[in-house]
Structure 1
Amino acid sequence: MATVAERLDVDPARLWAGSVLALLVALIGGSLLFPRTVYDGFVWHFFWGPVQADANAAVCAVRQGGTTRYLYDAAACSAAAEPVAYPGYTLVSEVGYVVILLVALSGLVFLLRRLGIGSDRDLFFSLLPFVFFGGALRVVEDVTDAAADPLIGYPLNTLIISPVIYFTVFAITLLVLLASVSLARQGVIDRYTRPLAAGGTLVLVVTLLFLLWSAIAPDGPGTFYPQVLVVILVGATASAAGTWVLIEQYAPGINAGTGRLGFVVIWGHAVDGVANVVGLDWMVALGAGPNLVPKHPVNRAIVEITASTLPQSVLALTGDTWPFLVVKLVAATLVVWLFDEQIFEESPQYAILLMIAILAVGLGPGTRDMLRATIGV
């Protein structure tokens, strides 16, 4: 079947750029012409408002008359007139970010093809440190919120708050990628993937050192709970390994196309699942402070369903978050199954980038929850 670009006889990259530009013009134009409906009621309500509320450590943010107010009382937020934005995600915003992600991935495919890179799987493993870096960088904002004198204040802290942090990490990764490709083309290094992985490792280590300092410094805002880190990593590795063994034994065709990439994806989502289970149910039992609160709609829904379905005697032993780990493992396995060998043969750059994106939406938040619980912020 002919693609849209082929039917219109237009270069696919040009068609993509034109479509993105048209969408931006429509969104910006609508915000200018109908600010209360388009901007306040949609853009601000579901996307920018939650970021502002989070950045100002408010219970919610309220948009009235073209201005934003921050409320720090739950009752006041409940009584406020819409639009009201709460920190975190909504189903509308999550769908919107998925669309943005897919559009961005398409643009990246055109860029990689123009650069003549990304057709081998080394790119996946070279970008892995940046996925950890994104989750760790998000905890920096959590640390500044907990500090008596925040190092990063509003509006600069919005750069490291979800979902803006994804654009921040993307920009850093893209700069390192372009620099690595330039070094390879100049003959300074043999392969661009080596400085790319080194750059990601460098920013990750710097971020982790800052977080460690915040947890062990006498006047730091955090407290170091190494037992949380150990439990999450061991639990995630064990659950991912168990899932992989079952796949290899009973359905080896699931990972025929992905190989090692598939295991990394399942492990990344296992980290997210176990971090939620530990953070929401077992912090007190581990002697690591109070349990965390779920921020994502899916997490909250699973917790509510489990709590209303299972007897209290069972919940007292298991907690109400463990189904989230099961959902993550099943979903990751299904995604791995979709990536057969044909996808990698027809469009290797897109397949690899999509695998990275799928890993990032699990391992990124999982790393954030794991580190946040580990340093008690």
Structure 2
Amino acid sequence: MDELSDRIDPARAWLAVAGAVAALLALGSVLFPRRVYDGFLWRYYWGPVAADGTRGAKCAVRHNGETTFYESVAQCRQAAGYVAEPGYTTVSTVSYALVLVFMLVGVYLLIQRLDFDYSPATFYALVPYVFFGGALRVVEDVSVAVGPDSPVAIPFPFSALFISPFIYFTVFAITLSGVLLGIVLQRRGDVERFQVPLAALGSVVLAVTLAWLAYAVTATEVVEFNPLVPAITLGGATVLAGVTWLAIEQFAPEINRGTGYMGLVIIWGHLVDGIANVLSLDWAARFGLPAYAPKHVVNGWIHRNTADFQPAWMTDLIGETWPFIFVKLGAAVFVVWVFDDKIFEDSPAYALLLLVTVLAVGLGPGSRDFLRATLGI
């Protein structure tokens, strides 16, 4: 068994599994289109994306090989065929989790094969891509909000590239391009450190995305600019993360020993998510913003139940979702504490990959939430 495992290249095995699964799904869709494509791939994956990317649609229905969109819940319930609503189902959630784990394994094998620098500089160079992912999702949000006739609207199916889960592949492809570009330039001797072009590309795609959103503000009356939202979100996250970091350094410096300033970025990213959620759910009306619904399971529970544990005057004063900030803060500090020196010494590639993933879980949705509120959509 040991000799067999030594002969098998993990990267080639990963590619073989990925290719086999893709081939089976493609072959099944051709041979059994109603069962494999309509009943599985479309129903749980493409259908929800199509419904999400179609303005005014409550659901998409697949029947006899054709897709129809309905704008009322009653029509969706009465429709014949496979019904897909915007959002996630249990099947898609579980399968996305499995795909995520599988993709993380693939990324881990890739960065091992590339054998590049796993220092904190690589982590910092990847931060713009995390922010870019959230901003790119807002591009599709704007497109849906303004309607198909607007000059800033992105027609479906192109907008699917900016909708979950396909947006993850879009951002991954751009990030991988930045990594490969940096490594090629470094090995050619054009740059000393590959992190410089990697960070540069990430900054460029982020700047272009933000510029597009700024253009949407000027090109349509639907999209507006609320400067207090980024000021409160980013400013509040920066202040609270800084105070937390200094307190840890003063009273429990061992928590920060493994991650260094990367831990500060992790805490900051999750606080952006926490503050953006509180502002959107409890303060939207006071800023003249649309009504938003909770997207996290945890903050949804907090939003529904906090009023049962605090006085009514306190709910009226500060809202119901504020504990979510401290939940995010506590979780971020715990993660920073877990990433000690030993993890980075034993497996620096694995530690770097996990740390970037942890940042993406917080800053990714947080950047989308506060940018949507900033634009009033």
Shorter-chain TM range is 0.7 to 0.9
Using structure 2 for the length normalisation, give the TM-score: 0.88
Q: How does 1:167-206 map to 2 (within 5 A)?
A: 167-206=169-208
User: Runs of 4 or more off by more than 6 Å in structure 1?
Assistant: none
2:151 is the counterpart of 1:137: no
Q: What residue is the counterpart of 2:268 in the other structure?
A: 267
Q: What residue is the counterpart of 2:49 in the other structure?
A: 51
Q: What residue is the counterpart of 1:320 in the other structure?
A: 320
* Contact 1:118–1:348 under 8 Å retained in 2: no
2:92 is the counterpart of 1:93: yes
Q: What residue is the counterpart of 1:213 in the other structure?
A: 215
Q: What residue is the counterpart of 1:283 in the other structure?
A: 284
Q: Over aligned residue pairs, what C-alpha RMSD do you find?
A: 2.7
SS at match of 2:191: coil
Render the CA deviation track for 1:70-116: whole Å, top value 9, x for unaligned. 22113333555674332233454344333322222222222222222
**Which 10-residue stretch deviates more, 324-333 or 48-57?**
324-333
SS at match of 1:211: helix
SS at match of 2:358: helix
The structure-2 alpha-carbon separation of the partners of 1:277 and 1:259, relative to structure 1 and needing over 3 Å to count, comes to same
The separation in 1 between residues aligned to 2:297 and 2:89, in whole angstroms, is 6
The separation in 2 between residues aligned to 1:204 and 1:355, in whole angstroms, is 21
The separation in 1 between residues aligned to 2:269 and 2:80, in whole angstroms, is 40
Q: How does 1:110-259 map to 2 (within 5 A)?
A: 110-147=109-146, 148-149=149-150, 150-215=152-217, 217=218, 219-259=220-260
The structure-2 alpha-carbon separation of the partners of 1:175 and 1:318, relative to structure 1 and needing over 3 Å to count, comes to same
The separation in 2 between residues aligned to 1:174 and 1:127, in whole angstroms, is 10
Q: Tell me by how many angstroms 1:53 deviates.
A: 0.9
Q: Tell me by how many angstroms 1:31 deviates.
A: 5.0
The separation in 2 between residues aligned to 1:241 and 1:70, in whole angstroms, is 48
State the identity as a percent: 50
The structure-2 alpha-carbon separation of the partners of 1:205 and 1:87, relative to structure 1 and needing over 3 Å to count, comes to same
* Contact 2:142–2:153 under 8 Å retained in 1: no
* Contact 2:303–2:320 under 8 Å retained in 1: yes
The structure-2 alpha-carbon separation of the partners of 1:77 and 1:123, relative to structure 1 and needing over 3 Å to count, comes to same
Q: Tell me by how many angstroms 1:311 deviates.
A: 5.8
Q: Tell me by how many angstroms 1:40 deviates.
A: 4.2
SS at match of 2:285: coil
Q: Which amino acid in structure 1 is aligned with residue 99 of structure 2?
A: I
The separation in 1 between residues aligned to 2:42 and 2:327, in whole angstroms, is 31
**Which 10-residue stretch deviates more, 86-95 or 316-325?**
86-95
Q: What residue is the counterpart of 1:18 in the other structure?
A: 16
The structure-2 alpha-carbon separation of the partners of 1:218 and 1:181, relative to structure 1 and needing over 3 Å to count, comes to closer
Q: Alignment length, in residue pairs?
A: 373
Q: Tell me by how many angstroms 1:237 deviates.
A: 1.9
Q: Tell me by how many angstroms 1:27 deviates.
A: 4.4
- Identify which of structures 1 and 2 has the higher relative contact order when contacts are C-alpha pairs closer than 8 Å and 6+ apart: 1
* Contact 1:144–1:152 under 8 Å retained in 2: yes
Question: Unaligned stretches of 5+ in structure 1?
Answer: none
Render the CA deviation track for 1:19-55: whole Å, top value 9, x for unaligned. 3334434544555566555544544333322211111
* Contact 1:132–1:204 under 8 Å retained in 2: yes
Q: Tell me by how many angstroms 1:56 deviates.
A: 0.8
SS at match of 1:69: strand
Question: Unaligned stretches of 5+ in structure 2?
Answer: none
2:342 is the counterpart of 1:342: yes
